[in-house]
Amino acid sequence: MQRSGLSAWLPLVAMAALAGITFWLLQINLPSGAQTAIGAKKHTPDYFADNFAITMLDQSGVTQYRINAATMVHYEDDAATHVTEPAIRAFTPGQPTVTSTARRGVINGDSSIVDLYDNARIVREPGASDPRMEADSQHFRVFVNDDVIETEKPVKLLRGPSVTTANAMVYNNVTREMRLFGQVRGMLAASDSALGRTSSQ
């Protein structure tokens, strides 16, 4: 009886031993650091699209931003979306439409920040008391939730007949305040006193 019971357990013991040896062989043959690398996300595209368009709504369901691009590529590690020929249109109730364009852009994971690079341009349509405004730079950062646009690069501003250059800029589309930094130079028309605060640092 005892011999018969031992024989019944032998296959299970053999399978357990085989599994243990297999696991040991796998561990010693893994490259160094492979265990920590398992499951790590790589900076590789996980999806892409052409003629990309996305609309972002505010809490009341009204369109706040609309983003169009010729192409988009999404990366899995940082959830960033890289786009070409982006055009971002901001809609603020009671305010002129603001459109930002560039050759390429990067949208962060939660779509709260959009970076525009290479021949970046911001155009604010004329309002009831404001002329058309245009800003050109090599980089603009759009803070979607705050409706603020800034750049740390040299910027050129055209506001009606006024022309101004600066080393950096922050523009708040809600308060309509524009702050210029660094070497601020230009020609302001007599009727253009509402340009906003400027400061040099």
18 vs 13, 15, 25, 189, CA distance in Å?
9, 5, 11, 86
More confident residue, 99 or 95: 99
Q: Give the Cα separation of 100 and 53 in Å (integer).
A: 14
User: pLDDT confidence of 24, banded at 50, 70, 90?
Assistant: low
Average pLDDT over residues 45-51: 87
Give the range of the structural domain holding residue 81, as residue numbers without chain letter: 45-187
The answer on 123 and 79 residing in a single domain is yes
The answer on 81 and 18 residing in a single domain is no
Let me know if residue 192 belongs to a domain: no
Domain count within the chain: 2
pLDDT tens readout for residues 122-173: 999 988 778 899 999 999 999 988 889 999 999 999 988 899 999 999 998 8
Average pLDDT over residues 12-25: 53
Can you give the pLDDT at residue 1?
Answer: 46
Can you give the pLDDT at residue 42?
Answer: 76
Q: Using CA atoms of 135, 199, 179, 102 in order, give the dihedral in degrees to the nearest 10.
A: 30
The answer on 144 and 67 residing in a single domain is yes
Strands 81-84 and 45-57: unpaired
Cα first-last separation, the chain: 94
| CATH code, domain carrying 166 | 2.60.450.10
Q: Give the Cα separation of 67 and 118 in Å (integer).
A: 17
Across 1-15, 98-112, 146-160, least confident range: 1-15
Let me know if residue 194 belongs to a domain: no
The answer on 149 and 65 residing in a single domain is yes
